[in-house]
Chains A and B, each alone.
Chain A
Amino acid sequence: MSEVLEVENLSVSFRQDGAQTQAVRGVSFTVERGETVALVGESGSGKSVTALSTVSLLPDSAEVTGSVKYAGQEMVGAPAARLRKVRGNEISFVFQEPMTSLNPLHTLEKQIGESLALHQGLVGAPARARIIELLERVGIADAERRIKAYPHQLSGGQRQRVMIAMALANNPDLLVADEPTTALDVTIQAQILELLAKLKREEGMSLLFITHDLGIVRRIADRVCVMQGGEIVEQGPTETIFRAPAHAYTRKLLAAEPAGRPEPVARAADEVVSTDALRVWFPIQRGFLRRTVGHVKAVNAASLTVHAGETLGVVGESGSGKTTLAMAMMRLLASQGPIIFEGRNIQGLGTRELRGLRRHMQIVFQDPFGSLSPRMTAEQIIAEGLGVHGVAKGQNPRQLVAQMMAEVGLDPAMMPRYPHEFSGGQRQRIAIARAMILRPRLLVLDEPTSALDMTVQVQIVDLLRALQRRYGLAYLFISHDLRVVRALAHKVMVMKDGDVVEAGAAEEIFDAPRTDYTRGLMAAAFDMKAVGAA
């Protein structure tokens, strides 16, 4: 086999305001024809920078040394004309975010046609035929009609398929896929992975796959390069790495899977919250008089009960109404149907009455970057609830904040820092501390681990479990990640398009799912296999 891509001793550093940051240090690896190589590592390990530097797509502030050879030609310092010929033609890219990598003002025909016209000079009817062919290859149904569609008319998975079609347009030798499935639901992720594997087989391309998810690597890659802090700490065939990881970091990554099971709940635990056929319908209003012509049924008749010390996992794909349900239960969104919190119906309570109850029900959001005010210190953020609900006599708020920080595993000395000075995991700890300082009885966790690296996810899951044990907290845990749910939840509720498809004890649902939808979700999450047309 011949080498398509040879990277030797590649180093990349960024210069900003006189400071030099080393992103990649002396990385060497090769990609052979028809081979899939995976670059694995956590955020900030230099995976994406390595991939982008193969065709010099880095900003001007980057300094690249070392050698990148594509088919024997040196790419580092190559003239712009040659790079342009290679880019999108011989080496193609698929990026992470399908929302922003397509131009919202262009139809699919125009987006794909651009690259065809540029590299192959294909225009008019032949280009059109080729575009339809490409769309069919990536599994877009009814491609003839879809060709006139705009990106916003497609779902996330379809958009990613279009991105792949664009990348395939010029029959590249090497496809670089930078976290192509991270923003997608598990079932869609499984489909895209299958598509990539199939296309690779049929076209005989090489694939450089960048991901943080070892499950994907195991399924798709022939060889793995594990990156940490800008260096490749270990590389080798997938089998070997998974069977006998040599480097400590690889072992840590492999071990980083939310493990363990939730603590059993006491039999006589009090009921903390329950709903009966809760629904959230958004009216669709039309015409001059804004008559209600129909409803978007975001949540349809959701009934649930959570006891003290118990975790209810709510799972489902994006758009299934999980977050809307959480917001409605926190009374942050208007809804219909009773919400019984500690024996009292809080549906219809006024803002003032609710304010007193808020200290007992708290929420932690998904995005640890967006949920902390950038202009407040960690101390101010955590102490905010104390300001609203007051502090018991003889207690010093600063002391309470320090204790809370220690409890969630943060050094109290970091109190005067601002959110941007913390890592993602630390920010999520701050968000948990902000909610926990009021000693709530119900904590709603809206995808608290989704934006975090695997090893950090494990830490947060452990922290949540420890807090639950200590304070007998009731959790409403919302996630699309079934592995995390399995590690935390006593009960599971599966949602689809606003409906509760299945609900019951966690073991029952994980061991013997009753509906096809749940089975598809499980297969996609645990085996990365697409089942049926999920």
Chain B
Amino acid sequence: MEQTVPASSRAEVPDPADAAPPPLPPRGRFGIRLSPLNRRRWRNFTRNRRAFWSLIVFGVLFGLSLFAELLANDKPLLIQYQGEYYTPIINFYPETAFGGDFQTEAVYRDPVVRCLVRTGGAELCLFEPETALQEAEASGTVEGEPIEPGWMIWPPIPYSYNTINNIDGAAPSPPDANHWLGTDDTARDVVARVTYGFRLSVAFAIVVTVLTSLIGIAAGAVQGFFGGLIDLFFQRVIELWGATPQLYIIIIVAAMFQMNFWLLVFLMTLFGWTALVGVVRAEFLRARNFEYVRAARALGVSNAKIMFRHVLPNAMVATLTMLPFIVTGTIGSLAALDFLGFGLPSSAPSLGELTLQAKQNLQAPWLGFTAFFAFAIMLSLLVFIFEGVRDAFDPRKTFQ
């Protein structure tokens, strides 16, 4: 029981002068010093193989989608023209920069621009790019003149989400070698749209979740911790707020303004922050009379610090249990709004809009299958990850 206590019991109080603190634990893999508790949580999380691999897969997918501009774009990554290098994704170059006629941005997929770059600005490209290219490939000359050959490096998917492609036949076109998942009904490449759409969905969900959690936890904490009249008043406010018809407000706002990402984030946060208030409030109501809170108060610790240091960590488990529902719910809401046409404008790369197209074009099943698998994989991965997170924070597993 007390065997770890040196010189206890009837002895004098030991002289503390020579007591030395133990060395700090070594830094972890990424130079971050995790507390033992968090290290145990991380171990619990990695022990859940499904959650761990889901996190890795999701991390790779989302990490790649963050660089969607480099993966799917209708501009080349790098151009060498007349011995100089150009980066069209970052910089604006008019067509005249490559010896063309127009002051507008070069259309890099246009045969004329391709020919100009390849041949180093041969005149013939402006009139007969096909002939000029053929000659350049065959003999390295155009109209007998020697050329300064240039080149372009294209992204793996040479289309952006809003590129309207020239396709043979009617859009939507089925999958082929150029368009791996076909095109949608305005001849835009589906792979490119899914890549950008995945990023948009996840980013939207993360931004909305972070904002609603911050507001919800703060509101719940204040209500639960102080209780009394504040609690009574804000509970009524939340009840009234919750009774507001969210969808109608969004439709009205969508009719008044051009909808964009941040406006939609604002609207979703406006109505979403109440989700966590109840749980956090209950945890704070429970914890505010705990003895360690009272002990902190006796030490003179300020209310804000008590809430942050003593009560909040204990409310975290309940919050984390709710979080997956908020994340997946937000992704679902965005898709639903886009599907109904009240979300982002139809040029935006939205998975909800893809679903709508799938419904309208039942003859093109690749649209429906793509939308379905994109949602299924994304939501499943998220649910698996959060399941692992919740288990890792489970006090019964952490405190053993």
Binding site for B on A (CB under 8 A): 17, 42, 44, 330, 332, 354-356, 358-359, 361-363, 365-367, 370-377, 379, 384-385, 387-389, 398-399, 401-407, 409-418, 420, 423, 425-426, 429, 431, 434, 438, 453, 455-456, 458-459, 462-463, 466-467, 470
Interface positions, chain B 1-46, Cβ under 8 Å from A, are 1-2, 4-10, 12-17, 19-22, 25, 35-37
Q: Is B291 a contact of A370 with CB atoms below 8 Å?
A: yes
Task: Determine the chain A residues whose CB is within 8 A of the CB of B35 once the complex forms.
Answer: 377, 416
Smallest CB separation, B341 vs chain A (Å): 47
Q: Is B313 a contact of A406 with CB atoms below 8 Å?
A: no
Q: Is A404 a contact of B16 with CB atoms below 8 Å?
A: yes
Q: Is B300 a contact of A389 with CB atoms below 8 Å?
A: yes
Residue in A371, A379, A405, A418 whose CB lies within 8 Å of B19: A405
Residue in A372, A388, A412 whose CB lies within 8 Å of B299: A388
Smallest CB separation, A322 vs chain B (Å): 16
Binding site for A on B (CB under 8 A): 1-2, 4-10, 12-17, 19-22, 25, 35-37, 290-292, 294-302, 305, 309-310, 313-314, 395, 399-400
Task: Determine the chain B residues whose CB is within 8 A of the CB of A423 once the complex forms.
Answer: 1-2
Residue in B7, B22, B299, B301 whose CB lies within 8 Å of A416: B22
Q: Is A367 a contact of B2 with CB atoms below 8 Å?
A: no
* CB-defined A-B contacts under 8 Å, sample of 21: A371-B292, A376-B310, A379-B21, A385-B300, A388-B305, A402-B21, A406-B19, A409-B14, A411-B6, A412-B20, A413-B22, A415-B21, A417-B36, A418-B36, A426-B2, A434-B299, A455-B1, A459-B5, A462-B9, A463-B13, A470-B13
Residue in A356, A362, A370, A403 whose CB lies within 8 Å of B16: A403
Q: Is B1 a contact of A44 with CB atoms below 8 Å?
A: yes
Q: Is the interface of B mostly helix, strand, loop or mixed?
A: loop
Q: Is B299 a contact of A384 with CB atoms below 8 Å?
A: yes
Task: Determine the chain A residues whose CB is within 8 A of the CB of B22 once the complex forms.
Answer: 402, 412-413, 415-416
Interface centre among A330, A363, A399 (most CB of B within 10 A): A363
Task: Determine the chain A residues whose CB is within 8 A of the CB of B8 once the complex forms.
Answer: 409, 459, 463
CA–CA, A402 to B23, complex, Å? 11
Q: Is A403 a contact of B19 with CB atoms below 8 Å?
A: yes
CA–CA, A413 to B9, complex, Å? 20
Q: Which residue of A lies closest to B40 (CB)?
A: A418
Task: Determine the chain A residues whose CB is within 8 A of the CB of B10 once the complex forms.
Answer: 462
CA–CA, A418 to B36, complex, Å? 9
CA–CA, A403 to B15, complex, Å? 9
Q: Is A358 a contact of B298 with CB atoms below 8 Å?
A: yes
Smallest CB separation, A352 vs chain B (Å): 10
Q: Is A371 a contact of B2 with CB atoms below 8 Å?
A: no
Smallest CB separation, B207 vs chain A (Å): 28
Extra A-B contacts (14), CB below 8 Å, given A403-B17, A455-B1, A463-B8: A332-B297, A362-B299, A365-B295, A366-B291, A370-B292, A373-B309, A373-B310, A409-B8, A409-B14, A411-B5, A418-B36, A459-B5, A462-B9, A462-B10
CA–CA, A413 to B19, complex, Å? 10
Q: A375-B313, A423-B1 are in contact. Are A365 and B19 (CB under 8 A)?
A: no
Q: A372-B292, A376-B309, A384-B299 are in contact. Are A407 and B2 (CB under 8 A)?
A: no
